[in-house]
Amino acid sequence: MPTDLITPQDPRSQYPGPPSSFEIQHAPATQAAMSEKPDCGEFSYKGSGRLAGRKALITGADSGIGRAAAIAFAREGADVAIGYLPEEQEDAEEVAKYIREAGRKAVLLPGDVSHEGFCHRLVADAFEQLGGLDILVNNAGRMGKTEGLLETSTERFDTLMKTNIYSIFWITKAALPHLKPGASIINTTSVQGFDPSPNVFDYAITKAAIANFTKGLSEPLMEKHGVRINAVAPGPVWTPLQEADGDKKKLEKLGSTTPFKRPGQPVELAPVYVLLASQEASYITGEIYGVTGGMGIA
């Protein structure tokens, strides 16, 4: 699947259409268990030193979009600490290999971000082992599907809230004292936060909250700390998150309603994370960058 990211080509056929082979995995799903693996830039992303010497913490970096960001950051010159669930160790070890092959330091920090205590340890360990912290990417999340409001349990709702939005509050709050002027925070929201689908309405609530969190903090973080905060809003992207307690009918059509007639690949989002992390984005804060395959976030 890896494609040339330099030579101009037709983006409609640059990657496959909806997945032809997939498995509904019990959450958390792993990339290692996917029969049709996404392109996270392992063999396609080329760096150019845009993040030389930076120290980054990325949650949910074992697979999918977080994995693509971790690989891209390392190839742009950053040392990277990756947060992930212990069940995702195999995927995390593979990401660490790519980071080290890029000549950068990889720090593996397993744990569950739905627990406040771990979120505090995650930031403290990343700061200590990296020797600093310049970039924070809040990307970890859960999705799955629900059959409607009456079928949605309090346990599911609580888990989504704690994993997807409480964790960002806890991690960002813990990281802020370590971030110096010029640092960057990047959150992962979703097109679902702007145009929710019924079978993931509760997931969509968390993604809308992340967008609001990003915009609400942009002014005080800049005025008081000189720290930028932005978010990326993916559309339908082929990642293990789609298979985790997912919807078979949805996966069979994933990305087919976009103008591209295909889902995005994680590597197609990586350059946006790199831009927002870099000094090139020095005048960008409080923005939501849609990478939706033309679906839009307005």
- For 122-154, write each residue's pLDDT tens digit: 999 999 999 999 999 999 999 988 888 999 999
Please indicate whether residue 273 is annotated as part of the active site. no
Report pLDDT for 2: 62
Domain range list for the chain? 55-291
**Catalytic residue of the set 45, 84, 98, 203:** 203
The fraction of the chain above a pLDDT of 90, given in percent, is 81
CA separation, residue 172 to residues 76, 119, 214 (Å): 23, 9, 11
Grouping H, G, I as helix, E, B as strand and the rest as coil, residue 110 is strand
Q: Is the pLDDT of residue 213 over 80?
A: yes
Task: Please compute the mean of the pLDDT values over residues 229-241 and round it to a whole number.
Answer: 94
Q: Is the pLDDT of residue 1 over 80?
A: no
pLDDT in tens, 55-107: 999 999 999 999 999 999 999 999 999 999 999 999 999 999 999 999 999 99
Report pLDDT for 5: 76
Q: Quick count: other Cβ atoms within 10 Å of Cβ 225? A: 16
Q: What is the band of 20 on the pLDDT scale with cuts at 50, 70, 90? A: confident
Q: What sign does the dihedral 197-200-206-211 (CA atoms) show?
A: negative
What is the residue whose two structure tokens read 């259409």?
17
Q: Is the pLDDT of residue 242 over 70?
A: yes
- Whether residue 177 contacts residue 160, with contact meaning beta carbons closer than 8 Å, is answered with no
Q: What angle do CA 110, 186, 189 make, to 5 degrees?
A: 90
- Whether residue 143 contacts residue 150, with contact meaning beta carbons closer than 8 Å, is answered with no
Token code pair at residue 202? 């509760």
Q: How is domain 55-291 classified at the CATH fold level?
A: Rossmann fold (3.40.50)
